[in-house]
Amino acid sequence: MSNAPENRGLDSRSGRGSGRRHGDAEALGDILRRVMRDVRPPTPRRRDAIFAAWRSAAGSALAQETRPTTLRKGVLTIEVRSPPLLHDLAGFRRDELLSRFLAAAPKGRVTGLRFRLGVF
C-alpha cells in the first residue's frame, strides 16, 4: 500500500467524478425494509383512522366528494370527484384542511395534503 492519496470516484482522464458511490456495504434486508416502509399499504386500523380523521376535517358534504387514497412520505393524497372542486381544494383550502386534519389526527404521520382528480 502506498501513502499517496486515493482519487476515489475520479475519472483520471477528465478529473470528474465517475458517479460511483463508495462506503460501507449495506445489507440487502436493511435496504428492502427502508424501501418497503414507504410503499407498504396502511394497516386496516391505520387506514380507518385516516379515513375518520379526513371525514372529521372535511365535514360530511366534502367527505362525500373526496376520499383519501395514499400516504407516502407524510403526504396524504386525496382524490376529488370534480375538476372545479379539485381546483378549489388545491388552490385555496389546502392549508385550512391540513390544519383541521392535524387537529383530528395529531399523531404526526401526515405533514401535507395532495389533491388529484379521481373516479369513484
Cβ partners under 8 Å of residue 43, min gap 6: none
pLDDT of residue 52: 93
Q: Which amino acid is at 50?
A: I
pTM value is 0.65
pLDDT of residue 94: 97
Higher-scoring residue by pLDDT: 12, 109: 109
Please report which helix (H) or strand (E) contains residue 12, including its range. Answer: none
**Helices 44-58 and 94-104: angle between axes, nearest 10 degrees:** 130
* Average of per-residue pLDDT values in the chain: 82
Higher-scoring residue by pLDDT: 61, 43: 61
- Domains of the chain plus CATH, in order, are 43-117 (3.30.300.180)
Q: Taking residues 29-46, report their average pLDDT.
A: 76
